[in-house]
Amino acid sequence: MPAVPAGYSSGGQMNKPSCFDRIKLGFGMGFTVGMVMGVVFGGFAGLRCVFHHAIIFPSNWSFIFFYRQGARGRELLSIVGRSVMQAGGSFGTFMAIGSAIRC
């Protein structure tokens, strides 16, 4: 005999999730998908960005530029973390709005 699915009450009728529960579930799913996309795109963006540092010498007012390819350590983690939170929040918000429309 198969197991009884969760959500059945003693009366034999299935309890439907409320509209707020559906909105929370939509936000959670959207936030998770957005986080994965934020890790992928934020990781690529952090590893390929170029930083320009200029030093000005006051004696002859010449510039020296230093180029460094990509970010490392804390800098990379801050770029990826910001990307994860932005992508997760925005996609989660859109999924929550879509779930609210369907209620």
Domain spans, the chain? 19-102
99 membership: H or E segment, kind and range? helix 74-102
Q: If DSSP codes are grouped into helix, strand and coil, which group holds residue 16?
A: coil
Tens digit of each residue's pLDDT (9 = 90 or more) over 47-99: 776 555 555 556 555 555 555 566 677 888 888 888 899 999 999 999 999 99
| Full 3-state SS string of 36-62 | HHHHHHHHHHHHHCEEEEEEEECCCCE
Flag whether pLDDT at 1 surpasses 80: no
Burial of 26 (0-12, 13-18, 19+ CB in 10 A): buried
pLDDT recorded at residue 79: 84
Flag whether pLDDT at 37 surpasses 90: yes
